[in-house]
């Protein structure tokens, strides 16, 4: 049967196709946006961390209300942890992957004027302790580290006039230097233009700790600064262990922390000692909760749409039983009837998908305007659209099969 | 009309399978929408009904430092400066230009009840403030009194404690006259307050915003608390000529902008007058010359303050939109189901029409049927919504423990169900009322 006749049919009985189209359009708009939101949440979960994940233990929130830890105490803690059985190296650090409690925030600016927002990690020997893969340049020299603490932050301390060495990631190198080697090049920050930085090394990956921003190629927007932890009220350590001696090391680390800092922390100590995997699990809790929610929405939308299409098409098939019988009596084959209903659904759903894609785009525009969401990339639209079309075809299969089963003899009966 | 309603009820029972399907679909859509809306409703409610309309946050920029050119690419917006220095707060308190005014900041600290049977240590938030906070915020007193401006000036070590804290520390809410150690000083309990927990904690958002479990458990004169050596938490910038910092988290109250200054201004004229006063105050700060700062001041109402601080998490609104569009989808679905079942009984409609029923009657019957389905859906959505809110409360996001269905939202659920019924029923019912009597009778 030609498409023209099909259109005529649809026009004559406009209510049913309109309702199917409306459902498909809404489902398509919702699914496109949910798909996009899901991808926003999934990216931080799948981004490469660049760390020696199996060997990393993070010690966080060594905190005292009454006592300020001095640079010497921070360093003593680092030494004691490094000499714990099963531990390969330890670094006193400020800002650690998957720990959002303390975040260091830079607006880096390249000589060409490209600006990128990055997170920074401070600490002595972090390249080795975190197990980062250096692909260009070198690690910091021991002489390059400067103390960073309350004393150094005070306004009466002069800032160093020479540029400060930093290590960046390959992704940052691409963004800031257009694919050219970054080693030896200068950088500045927009908040404090007089203070300069220069790149000494480049690592393959290093995941930032502001996880909500680890999307759209920004996951590796991280730098290491040559800073040693000075006097502070809040200490944290990265510890790299021998994975074969995990239990020994974990126990040893806990004992060492208690011995070194137990007295100052007092009774309500909130220190957290956890492997990287545990910390990551905890940090991604809200992302996972959101994913469950989106999964629920997706399933509900699919169910409701499928049932809707099935119900309406089923009713329509029933209404036209007699016509189908006549067609069959006139020589139409079962497969032709089946194909007719499938094609009809494709046509209606296609119209719905077109409307739905426009709707999705408009909805995303509104969401982007009111909430901090990036623009829906156009390639989500055909993906969502195709998914909805496929859903429509699957849903229509059962009623179309029923239509194909109508015997030709129905044409001779009066219903 | 009663006849139409009866017909609608019979219609429901005719096709139980499609009725159940429609009711379930509507219930799912309604429950999703109401769960998100109930949370949004709790989070956007007026924190202090009757008072917040005339409370204003006053801010003057008197920090002797270069203005920071901060433009963050990392989504952190540090431009929401709102705190002022202690000296300015005291000066403004002394000049007393508003009906009520108080400087305040919430501090998390340690409190010890030494004269209890067992010495008891409690870590909690307390509000360091000045005398007029009590009438201004309307903090209720169970017993005793609040302190006076004279006691503020004398930096008297007195404290008003929450009844829950009194119960916990002293085993009774009759705690007036007892002593509580805060910082290095003993504070005398002069009053016991009723629970005071506006949502959000609008008067000091840097301490907490929404919390069903935490609140300020004590109210202490600001001066006396500083005397006891307790550090204030956080600041919006310090003077460049300030002495060296002692700790990472403590704030030097004399040189840093660390207190929020709230005023009560019941009339528009007072608001304008106080705005002018603030601007004059900022302009008269001679010491600021040389830092390249224009005199800046701001007077922000509670509503504007909350929206500027973006206290309602974006996710909550986003989920409400998502649930709303899901409800729309459910409505389209139910409209389809209804259209199918109405047209299936085209024969009956034809007979009714042929027997003289007007179109309006047919339309009414079918709209009633749709509304009944949606009301049933609403009834089913009620436990589903409660379940949804329960799962929300299980997630520990700080604000989710507020997810509850209050009576007004319960009413809204059924109003929404009815509206959904009328809306979805309208098109199929109209289509049913167009059925030609003759044609149907013939074919039947």
Give per-residue pLDDT as tens, A288-341: 888 998 999 999 999 999 988 888 888 888 888 888 888 888 888 889 889 988
> Using CA atoms, how far apart are residues B62 and B375, in angstroms rounded to an integer?
60
Q: What is the pLDDT of residue A267?
A: 65
Question: What does the block give as tokens for A245?
Answer: 């001696």
Do residue A233 and residue A337 come from a single domain?
Answer: no
Residue B55 domain flag: no
Residue B128 domain flag: yes
> Which residues on A lie below 8 Å from B123 (Cβ)?
268
Residue A387 domain flag: yes
The answer to whether the CB atoms of A191 and B74 lie below 8 A apart is no
Do residue B265 and residue B141 come from a single domain?
Answer: yes
Residue B133 domain flag: yes
Q: What domain range includes position B397? A: 2-46+314-443
A141 has pLDDT over 80? yes
Q: What share of chain A is helix, strand, coil (3-state, %, to 5)?
A: 55, 20, 25
Closest chain A C-alpha to B317 CA, distance in angstroms: 9
Do residue A131 and residue A235 come from a single domain?
Answer: yes
> Which residues on B lie below 8 Å from A27 (Cβ)?
329
Higher pLDDT, A46 or B243: A46
Do residue B119 and residue B244 come from a single domain?
Answer: yes
**Are B138 and B51 contacting, i.e. CB atoms less than 8 angstroms apart?**
yes
Quickly tell me which residue has 């809790």 as its tokens: A285
Rounded to an integer, the average pLDDT of A7-18 is 78
Do residue B331 and residue B230 come from a single domain?
Answer: no
Label residue A112 by pLDDT band (50, 70, 90).
Answer: confident
Question: What does the block give as tokens for A310?
Answer: 């099935």
Find which of A14, A105, A285, A370 to mutate to test the B interface (most B CBs within 10 Å of its CB): A105
The helix (run of H) or strand (run of E) holding residue B389 is helix B359-394
Do residue A128 and residue A14 come from a single domain?
Answer: no
Label residue A77 by pLDDT band (50, 70, 90).
Answer: very high
Residue A250 domain flag: yes
Q: CA-CA-CA-CA torsion for A347, A350, A352, A357, nearest 10 degrees?
A: -170
Alpha helix (H) residue ranges in A284-333? 285-319, 321-329
Do residue B402 and residue B258 come from a single domain?
Answer: no
Torsion sign over Cα B277, B282, B283, B285: positive
Do residue A370 and residue A323 come from a single domain?
Answer: yes
Do residue B227 and residue B332 come from a single domain?
Answer: no
**Are B126 and B120 contacting, i.e. CB atoms less than 8 angstroms apart?**
no
Do residue B40 and residue B126 come from a single domain?
Answer: no
Do residue A27 and residue A97 come from a single domain?
Answer: no
Quickly tell me which residue has 């398509």 as its tokens: A28
Torsion sign over Cα A287, A292, A298, A301: negative
Do residue A296 and residue A236 come from a single domain?
Answer: no
Do residue A118 and residue A15 come from a single domain?
Answer: no
Do residue B22 and residue B119 come from a single domain?
Answer: no
Residue B421 domain flag: yes
Do residue B324 and residue B248 come from a single domain?
Answer: no
Residue ending a domain, choose from B241, B261, B295: B295
A283: contact with B, CB 8 A cutoff: no
Find which of B36, B73, B228 to mutate to test the A interface (most A CBs within 10 Å of its CB): B73
Digit-by-digit pLDDT tens for chain B (444 residues) are 778 778 777 877 777 888 888 999 999 999 999 999 998 888 888 888 888 888 999 988 877 776 655 555 566 555 567 888 888 888 888 888 889 999 999 988 888 887 666 677 888 899 999 989 999 998 999 998 999 988 988 899 999 999 998 888 888 888 888 888 888 888 999 999 999 988 888 888 887 888 777 889 999 999 899 888 888 877 777 777 766 555 555 677 777 888 899 999 999 999 999 999 988 888 887 666 666 677 788 888 998 888 888 888 888 888 899 999 999 999 999 998 888 888 888 888 888 888 888 888 889 888 998 999 999 999 999 999 999 888 888 776 667 777 778 888 888 888 998 998 888 889 889 888 888 776 655 554
Residue B386 domain flag: yes
Q: What is the pLDDT of residue B354?
A: 85
Do residue A133 and residue A214 come from a single domain?
Answer: yes
The answer to whether the CB atoms of B329 and A232 lie below 8 A apart is no
Find which of B70, B322, B345 to mutate to test the A interface (most A CBs within 10 Å of its CB): B322
Torsion sign over Cα B341, B346, B347, B352: positive
The answer to whether the CB atoms of B314 and A371 lie below 8 A apart is yes
Count of structural domains within chain A: 2
Give Cα separations from B277 to B58, B215, B296, B310 (angstroms): 11, 33, 12, 28
Q: What is the pLDDT of residue A237?
A: 94
Contacts made by residues B232-236, CB under 8 angstroms, sequence distance 24+: B232/B105, B232/B107, B232/B128, B232/B258, B232/B259, B233/B105, B233/B106, B233/B107, B233/B108, B233/B206, B233/B207, B234/B206, B234/B258, B235/B83, B236/B63, B236/B81, B236/B82, B236/B83
Do residue B285 and residue B146 come from a single domain?
Answer: yes
Do residue A33 and residue A88 come from a single domain?
Answer: no
Do residue B152 and residue B258 come from a single domain?
Answer: yes
Count of structural domains within chain B: 2
Q: What is the pLDDT of residue A106?
A: 86
Burial profile A290-319: b = 16 or more Cβ within 10 angstroms, e = fewer:
bbebbeebbebbbebbbbbbbbbbbbbbee
Residue B385 domain flag: yes
**Are B328 and B102 contacting, i.e. CB atoms less than 8 angstroms apart?**
no
Residue ending a domain, choose from B295, B328, B359: B295
> Which residues on B lie below 8 Å from A29 (Cβ)?
325
Burial profile B328-360: b = 16 or more Cβ within 10 angstroms, e = fewer:
bbbbbbbbbbbbbbbbebbebbbebbeeebeee
Q: What is the pLDDT of residue A392?
A: 92
Closest chain B C-alpha to A144 CA, distance in angstroms: 24
The answer to whether the CB atoms of B322 and A34 lie below 8 A apart is yes
Residue A50 domain flag: no
**Are B63 and B237 contacting, i.e. CB atoms less than 8 angstroms apart?**
yes
Task: List strand residue ranges (DSSP E) for A32-103, in order.
Answer: 56-63, 87-94
Residue B161, SS3 per DSSP = strand
Tally of helices (H runs) and strands (E runs) in chain A: 12, 13
Q: What is the pLDDT of residue B72?
A: 56
Quickly tell me which residue has 């360091």 as its tokens: B128
Label residue A6 by pLDDT band (50, 70, 90).
Answer: confident
Question: Of the ranges A61-75, A128-142, B110-124, B321-335, which one carries the lowest mean pLDDT score?
Answer: B110-124
A297: contact with B, CB 8 A cutoff: yes
Q: What domain range includes position A100? A: 65-265
A216: contact with B, CB 8 A cutoff: no
> Using CA atoms, how far apart are residues A79 and A143, in angstroms rounded to an integer?
18
Residue A274 domain flag: no
Do residue A100 and residue A221 come from a single domain?
Answer: yes
Label residue A156 by pLDDT band (50, 70, 90).
Answer: very low
Question: Of the ranges A33-47, A131-145, A394-408, B8-22, which one carries the lowest mean pLDDT score?
Answer: B8-22
Q: What is the pLDDT of residue A91?
A: 94
Q: What is the pLDDT of residue B242?
A: 67
A151: contact with B, CB 8 A cutoff: yes
Q: What is the pLDDT of residue B7?
A: 79
Residue B350 domain flag: yes
Quickly tell me which residue has 């308190």 as its tokens: B93
Q: What is the pLDDT of residue A312?
A: 87
Residue A58 domain flag: no
pTM: 0.84
Do residue B166 and residue B275 come from a single domain?
Answer: yes
Do residue B219 and residue B361 come from a single domain?
Answer: no
Question: What does the block give as tokens for A22?
Answer: 């409306």
Do residue A235 and residue A295 come from a single domain?
Answer: no
Residue A339 domain flag: yes
Residue A336 domain flag: yes
Label residue A155 by pLDDT band (50, 70, 90).
Answer: very low
Residue B301 domain flag: no
Higher pLDDT, B290 or A382: A382
**Are A399 and A341 contacting, i.e. CB atoms less than 8 angstroms apart?**
yes
Do residue A89 and residue A230 come from a single domain?
Answer: yes
Residue A57 domain flag: no
The answer to whether the CB atoms of A150 and B315 lie below 8 A apart is no
A367: contact with B, CB 8 A cutoff: yes
Altogether, the residues listed in chain B come to a count of 444
**Are B220 and B182 contacting, i.e. CB atoms less than 8 angstroms apart?**
yes
Residue ending a domain, choose from B295, B325, B343: B295
């Amino acid at each position: 049967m030609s498409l023209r006749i099909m259109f005529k049919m649809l026009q004559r009985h406009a209510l049913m196709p309109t309702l199917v189209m409306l459902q498909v359009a809404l489902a398509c708009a919702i699914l496109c946006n949910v798909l996009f939101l899901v991808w926003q949440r999934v990216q931080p979960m799948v981004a490469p961390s660049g760390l020696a994940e199996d060997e990393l233990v993070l010690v966080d929130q060594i905190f005292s209300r009454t006592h300020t830890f001095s640079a010497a105490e921070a360093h003593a803690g680092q030494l004691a942890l490094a000499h714990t059985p099963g531990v390969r190296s330890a670094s006193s650090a400020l800002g650690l992957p998957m720990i959002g409690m303390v975040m260091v925030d830079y607006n880096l600016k390249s000589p060409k004027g490209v600006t990128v927002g990055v997170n920074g990690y401070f600490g002595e020997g972090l390249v080795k302790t975190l197990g980062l893969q250096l692909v260009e340049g070198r690690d910091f020299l021991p002489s390059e580290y400067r103390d960073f603490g309350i004393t150094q932050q005070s306004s009466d301390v002069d800032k160093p006039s020479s540029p400060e060495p930093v290590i960046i990631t390959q992704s940052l190198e691409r963004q800031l230097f257009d694919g050219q080697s970054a080693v030896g090049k200068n950088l500045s920050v927009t908040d404090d233009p007089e203070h300069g930085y220069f790149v000494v090394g480049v690592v393959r990956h290093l995941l930032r700790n502001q996880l909500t921003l680890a999307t759209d190629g920004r996951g590796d927007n991280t730098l290491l600064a040559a800073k040693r932890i000075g006097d502070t009220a809040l200490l944290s350590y990265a510890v790299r262990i021998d994975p074969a001696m995990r239990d020994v090391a974990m126990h040893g680390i806990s004992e060492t922390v208690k011995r070194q800092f137990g007295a100052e922390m007092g009774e309500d100590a909130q220190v957290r000692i956890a492997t990287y995997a545990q910390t990551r699990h905890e940090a991604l809790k809200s992302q996972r909760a959101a994913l469950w929610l989106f999964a629920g929405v997706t399933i509900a939308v699919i169910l409701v749409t499928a049932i809707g299409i099935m119900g309406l098409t089923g009713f329509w098939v029933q209404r036209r039983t007699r016509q189908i019988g006549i067609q069959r009596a006139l020589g139409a084959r079962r497969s032709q009837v089946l194909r007719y209903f499938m094609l009809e659904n494709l046509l209606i759903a296609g119209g719905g998908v077109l409307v739905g894609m426009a709707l999705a785009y408009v909805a995303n525009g509104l969401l982007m305007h009111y909430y901090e969401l990036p623009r829906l990339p156009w390639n989500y639209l055909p993906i969502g659209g195709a998914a909805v079309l496929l859903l429509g075809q699957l849903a229509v299969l059962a009623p179309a099969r029923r239509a194909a089963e109508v015997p030709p003899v129905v044409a001779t009966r009066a219903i | 009309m009663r006849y139409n309603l009866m017909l609608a009820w019979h219609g429901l029972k005719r096709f139980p399978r499609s009725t159940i399907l429609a009711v379930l679909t509507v219930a799912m859509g309604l429950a999703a929408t109401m769960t998100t809306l109930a949370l949004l409703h709790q989070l956007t409610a007026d924190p202090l009904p009757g008072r917040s309309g005339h409370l204003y946050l006053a801010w003057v920029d008197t920090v002797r430092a270069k203005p920071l050119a901060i433009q963050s690419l990392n989504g952190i917006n540090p431009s929401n400066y709102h705190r002022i220095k202690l000296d300015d707060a005291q000066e403004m308190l002394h000049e007393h230009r508003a009906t009520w005014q108080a400087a305040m900041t919430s501090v998390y600290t340690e409190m010890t009840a030494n004269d209890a049977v067992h010495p008891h240590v409690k870590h909690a938030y307390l509000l360091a403030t000045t005398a007029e906070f009590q009438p201004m915020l309307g903090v209720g007193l169970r017993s005793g009194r609040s302190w006076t401006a004279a006691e503020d000036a004398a930096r008297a070590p007195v404290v008003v404690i929450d009844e829950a804290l009194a119960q916990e520390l002293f085993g009774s809410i009759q705690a007036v006259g007892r002593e509580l150690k805060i910082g290095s000083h003993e504070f005398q309990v002069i009053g016991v307050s009723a629970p005071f927990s506006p949502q959000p904690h609008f008067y000091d958002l840097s301490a907490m915003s929404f919390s069903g479990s935490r609140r300020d458990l004590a109210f202490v004169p600001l001066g006396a608390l500083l005397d006891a050596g307790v550090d204030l938490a956080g600041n919006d910038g310090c003077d460049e000529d300030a002495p060296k910092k002692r700790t990472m988290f403590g704030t030097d109250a004399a040189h840093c902008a660390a207190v929020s200054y709230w005023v009560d201004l019941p009339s528009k004229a007072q608001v304008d007058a106080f705005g002018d006063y603030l601007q004059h105050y900022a302009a008269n700060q001679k010491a600021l010359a040389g830092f390249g700062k224009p005199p800046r001041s701001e007077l922000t109402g509670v509503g504007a303050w909350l929206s500027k601080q973006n206290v309602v998490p974006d996710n909550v609104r986003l989920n409400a939109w998502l649930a709303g569009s899901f409800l729309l989808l459910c409505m389209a679905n139910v409209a389809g189901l209804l259209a199918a079942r109405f047209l299936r009984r085209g024969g009956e409609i034809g007979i009714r029409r042929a027997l003289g029923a007007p179109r309006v009657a047919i339309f009414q019957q079918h709209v009633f049927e749709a509304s009944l389905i949606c009301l049933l859906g609403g009834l089913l959505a009620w436990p589903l919504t409660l379940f949804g809110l329960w799962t929300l409360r299980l997630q520990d996001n700080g604000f989710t423990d507020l997810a509850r269905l209050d009576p007004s939202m319960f009413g809204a659920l059924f109003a929404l169900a009815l509206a959904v019924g009328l809306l979805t029923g309208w098109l199929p019912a109209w289509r049913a009322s167009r059925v030609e009597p003759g044609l149907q009778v013939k074919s039947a």
